Structure 1
Amino acid sequence: MLSKLLVRTFVKNYEDTNNEKVRESFGLLGGIIGIAINIILFTIKLSVGLIVASIAVMADAFNNLSDAASSIITIVGFKMSNKPADEEHPFGHGRIEYISALIVSFMVILVGFQFVKSSFERVINPEPITFEAVPFFLILGSIIFKFWLSKFNKYIGKTINSSALKAASFDALGDVVTSSCVALSLLLPKFTTLPVDGYIGILVALVILYSGYSLVKETVNPLLGEAPDPQLVKKIKESVLEYENITGVHDLIIHNYGHGKCMASIHAEIPSDIDIMQIHDIIDTAEREISKEFNIYLVIHMDPICTDCEEIKSCKRMVEKIIEYNPLVKSMHDFRVVGDGEKKNLIFDVVVNSWQLDKMMTEEELKEKITQDIKNLHPQYNCIITVDNDFM
């Protein structure tokens, strides 16, 4: 409830999440709240850590300070990602948001390493911890603040589909765990003389390191070129097929240059005997309307196919039946029959996952197997097969 109230109060036109200015406002709100809360928590925890001489509490305090710095980086990332396209970056600067999330991740890891060292030294040279009620309840209060901050960042991160804010949410949730361990380190000395402070400090540091690793993994994927959202893939294909005279689609490739900066290309199968001007107008309309609907830049390539030849239809059904039982082949397209007389060429493309194919056989071996299966039934046909990789 509070999250929605803050968004409605400070973000103008908050429902228009595809608008870059609105997304920037979301990022600014998340960053400012993150800075404010983390600075307050750093001050509280550092004071508590100094009062009770706890390395675990001070580790948690500086973790909050790094989170405040992370919020600043998040704000800068949102600002820079909205820079317009220029000569060197024709698709804009949207990926800067991913880079800012990556910087946050490395800062989290750095804090973790620093406090592994400090906590290990405390294990070797333990110091007594005196339980005090006020510092203990201050730490408990910080846990509540961090839990709310995690939920808030998750809410706005999901609203605008921001990897940076999702990373901040995950980091804050990790802080809930570490602060809980810190609270435990203040409570346990009432019941034991063991040097639990150093050990819990190491545990806190390891949780911080794991959080950093998870964030790096999550933010590196879009930079390297992760597979697109399956729902977006499905919707684009279904939308293209809704247009008149488009009978099939294949070879959809989506490039992500940041939120709202996606470029996609797809091949659309059309009847070979249709008027070229008529189908060109249909393709233009599809590109324009689908690009607007999904906030992408779509390019459609036309693949003319013969739809009224009984021999081609019969051969295609035969090949489809053969490849149906091949676990490596996902689909077939661009089927043609070329030649006269008894000897003819079947020309077609098969779609595979290259990573799966590489584990079992080479492309040439796959083509040879399909060709041999066809020749076993129809020796008169030669096959010219192209292996396409499925990028989905």
Structure 2
Amino acid sequence: MDIYEDIRKGERGAWVSITAYILLSALKLVSGFFFASSALLADGFNNLTDIVASIAVLVGLKISQKPPDSDHAYGHFRAETVAALVASFIMATVGIQVIVDAVRSLAAGEHTEPDIRSAFIALACAVAMGGVYWYNRRLAKQINNQALMAAAKDNLSDALVSIGAAVGIIGAQFGLPWLDGVAALVVGLLICKTAWDIFRQSTHDLTDGFDEKELGDLRSTIARTSGVEGIKDLKARVHGNHVLVDVVIEVDPQLTVTQSHQISDRVEERMRKLRNVMHVHVHIEPKEP
């Protein structure tokens, strides 16, 4: 399995997102300004943060392709996670600014009726972003890339944000001009929520957090391996899109060193058949009577 080749494929998805966000953010910001739509402007600023986030993912993917060296024995795969963490701070800053502007506009009673054409632009952008989501989701599943799958989920949330902006704009056409500002507020909150989700997952991974259900699945796989009498300890941590496993197994104390080593090899082989498990360290101890 060429893990670096999969990462290079993931770069394509990042470039698709960057290109789409550049085009759509420019269209939304210009249209939002000329058509006096706060919701469309907020959506455009949301896409600007997505450009930064996608670039961060791209940079992380490139750095993670660097081979192991004396300072990084396991490689540089966590560069993706660090880049996502930085992107979350940038997204949160912009999201807070959008919220502040929307609240200030609502409090001051600055209600303008946006041009109905801005609603059609928002809906067209939602369809385009839905296509980007479909492409990145399919590619992420194909290469089992969690970072790209997270980017795909962000694409989907952006499509939903554009639909929400369109709803606010259309509502303003029916005598509810304040609805456009409310839609901008909701967009700001969604930006902050996305930033929080990325921050929470990134910090969880960087502090060696690991999903308990996945750990249970790993334990079951090891326990079913021929020759394993028990499991004294099992640890796992996320390294980029891959998993590092440390396990202490118990075997029959009457076995020879060679036989015990063969059991260890079987455990490692079964673990590596799980696509995202990159490294397995097995320690063997005799089964206590």
**Which bracket does the TM-score occupy, shorter chain normalised?**
0.7 to 0.9
Is the contact made by 2:242 and 2:278 (CA closer than 8 Å) also made in structure 1?
yes
Task: Give 1:293's aligned residue.
Answer: 273
Task: Give 2:122's aligned residue.
Answer: 139
Instruction: Provide, for residues 83-113 of structure 1, a one-character-per-residue CA deviation record: whole Å limited to 9, x for no partner.
Output: 1111122111111111122223222212210
Instruction: Provide, for residues 161-189 of structure 1, a one-character-per-residue CA deviation record: whole Å limited to 9, x for no partner.
Output: 33322222222222223212211222122
Q: CA deviation at 1:134?
A: 3.1
3-state secondary structure, aligned to 1:42: helix
1:77-226 equivalences under 5 Å are 77-226=60-209
**Of 203, 209, 221, which aligns to 1:235?**
221
Task: Give 1:247's aligned residue.
Answer: 229
Cα distance between partner residues in 2 of 1:237 and 1:40: 52
Task: Give 2:238's aligned residue.
Answer: 256
5+ residue gaps, structure 1, are: 1-17, 306-333, 337-392
Task: Give 1:39's aligned residue.
Answer: 22
TM-aligned CA distance change 1:232 to 1:148, over 3 Å: farther
Name the aligned partner's letter for residue 148 of structure 2. Answer: L
Instruction: Provide, for residues 120-144 of structure 1, a one-character-per-residue CA deviation record: whole Å limited to 9, x for no partner.
Output: 1211334453443433211110011
5+ residue gaps, structure 2, are: none
Instruction: Provide, for residues 275-315 of structure 1, a one-character-per-residue CA deviation record: whole Å limited to 9, x for no partner.
Output: x344244245436634653454333333223xxxxxxxxxx
Cα distance between partner residues in 2 of 1:131 and 1:254: 53
Name the aligned partner's letter for residue 250 of structure 2. Answer: A
TM-aligned CA distance change 1:233 to 1:195, over 3 Å: same
TM-aligned CA distance change 1:141 to 1:57, over 3 Å: same
Cα distance between partner residues in 2 of 1:254 and 1:112: 34
Q: Which runs of 4+ in 1 moved over 6 A?
A: none
Cα distance between partner residues in 2 of 1:242 and 1:287: 9
Cα distance between partner residues in 1 of 2:182 and 2:31: 18
Is the contact made by 1:264 and 1:299 (CA closer than 8 Å) also made in structure 2?
yes
Is the contact made by 1:139 and 1:179 (CA closer than 8 Å) also made in structure 2?
yes
TM-aligned CA distance change 1:236 to 1:189, over 3 Å: same
Cα distance between partner residues in 2 of 1:250 and 1:264: 11
Name the aligned partner's letter for residue 197 of structure 2. Answer: S
RMSD of aligned Cα (Å): 2.4
Task: Give 1:265's aligned residue.
Answer: 247
TM-aligned CA distance change 1:26 to 1:126, over 3 Å: farther
Name the aligned partner's letter for residue 289 of structure 1. Answer: E
3-state secondary structure, aligned to 1:262: strand
Higher helix share: 2
3-state secondary structure, aligned to 1:150: helix
Name the aligned partner's letter for residue 36 of structure 1. Answer: T
3-state secondary structure, aligned to 1:86: coil
Cα distance between partner residues in 2 of 1:302 and 1:215: 38
Q: CA deviation at 1:193?
A: 4.8
- Which protein has the larger Cα radius of gyration, Structure 1 or Structure 2? 1
Is the contact made by 2:11 and 2:61 (CA closer than 8 Å) also made in structure 1?
yes
Cα distance between partner residues in 2 of 1:211 and 1:242: 44
3-state secondary structure, aligned to 1:83: coil
1:366-381 equivalences under 5 Å are none
Task: Give 1:72's aligned residue.
Answer: 55
- The structure showing larger relative contact order (alpha-carbon pairs under 8 Å, at least 6 residues apart) is 2
